[in-house]
Amino acid sequence: MRKLRDGERMLGEGHGIAEVAKALEITEQTCHCWRDMKADDAEELRKLRDENLRLERMVADQALGLEVLREVSRGNW
């Protein structure tokens, strides 16, 4: 969100897309995508990414638990 606001500010000050992208350490393509995105969309995207990360961790924990149970059932503990 901060990079999005900073990018809009820089563009408003007359900086070019390439200059803004370099300053924010993003690609020009990302800069164009962000310009088309509304603030609500950016917030929703961030929430979805956070939820996805949480779910990925849950799956990893389950896989680890299953592997431990397999080892125990084989008698390799």
Tens digit of each residue's pLDDT (9 = 90 or more) over 20-76: 888 888 888 887 777 777 777 878 888 999 999 999 999 999 999 999 999 899 986
**Which range of residues forms the domain containing residue 23?**
1-37
Structural domain count of the chain: 2
pLDDT of residue 61: 97
Does residue 27 sit in the same domain as residue 44?
A: no
Task: Say if pTM beats, i.e. exceeds, 0.95.
Answer: no
Does residue 48 sit in the same domain as residue 62?
A: yes
pLDDT of residue 52: 97
Cβ–Cβ < 8 Å for 6, 26: no
Spatial CB neighbours of 7, under 8 Å, sequence gap ≥ 6: 20, 24, 31, 34, 35
pLDDT of residue 51: 98
Does residue 18 sit in the same domain as residue 46?
A: no
Does residue 32 sit in the same domain as residue 49?
A: no
Does residue 32 sit in the same domain as residue 45?
A: no
